[in-house]
Amino acid sequence: MSDWKDESDRARGWFETLRDRICAEFEAIEREAGSDARFDYARWDREEEGNPDPGGGTRGLMKGKVFEKVGVNVSTVRGNFAPEFAASINGADADNPGFTATGISLVAHMANPHVPAVHMNTRFLTTGKAWFGGGADLNPPIPYDEDTSDFHARFRAACSAHNPTYYDRFSKWADEYFYIPHRGVHRGVGGIFYDHLECDDAQAFERNLAFTRDVGEAFLDIFPQLVRRRMDSDFTPEDKLRQLEWRGRYAEFNLVYDRGTLFGLKTGGNIDAILMSLPPEAVWT
């Protein structure tokens, strides 16, 4: 294979296209609710001493009537891992700390507690190896079996189109990963999570890029349906308190256990973009 620049550029192009389509759909939902909220975009540039091309990204943020806070980030960064951190990354070590990472990350916290919050992330990384990872998981303060079933069914279909083992493997991985050990609870109702889909040759890259694209398409298809299904639901003060308490659990997971948060902090990412996942308001009782 090459130095992966062309492949990284193709992956980045898809992530940027997906971002634009997701943001347009979320803004359309705000229009339907009578809101004129739109995404504000802030460009950030990464800095690394001795690195003339460290990359950067764009943070998109919207606060509206339906989406109390939603962030959609796309970044492409290059450089070297710190030696102690390199040892924890697939294909990297203290002697070979170089990396390139490009990806999209999205977290939506909703105004109505009956509308589920959601997380989606897909990425392409190169070290001594190259691989795709990502997934999406649903995080409802007030779960509905219908929503959970429809969310999983859409990702099951996306997985099954590529490999009959993917859904069982990746949904189990999500259940194991999105778990808060000190609380003894899952962060939400699951979804899929995958990592280290390695690209040993051109065919593997094409295959894994196609799957990663379908993960993005699945998210763009199903989540707006769930938002429209619940966004006009009546809710009580007790419902809102339940949401705020649940958001506290969400924040605990992202600050204590989330690997993406750690990766961003360890690689000199934009702090506002990294912590975009935190809810706008939460309570601990």
Cite the active site residues. Answer: 119
The b-or-e profile of 229-257 (16+ CB within 10 A means b, else e) is bbbeeebeeebbeebbebbebbbbbbeeb
Q: What is the DSSP string of 94-116?
A: TTB-EEEEEEEEEEEEESSTTSP
Measured CA distances, 181 to 93, 134, 178 (Å): 29, 21, 10
Measured CA distances, 251 to 105, 128, 227, 233, 257 (Å): 16, 33, 22, 25, 10
Helix (H, G, I), strand (E, B) or coil at 93: strand
Measured CA distances, 201 to 107, 163, 208, 220 (Å): 32, 18, 11, 29
For residue 60, the cross-strand partners are 41, 72
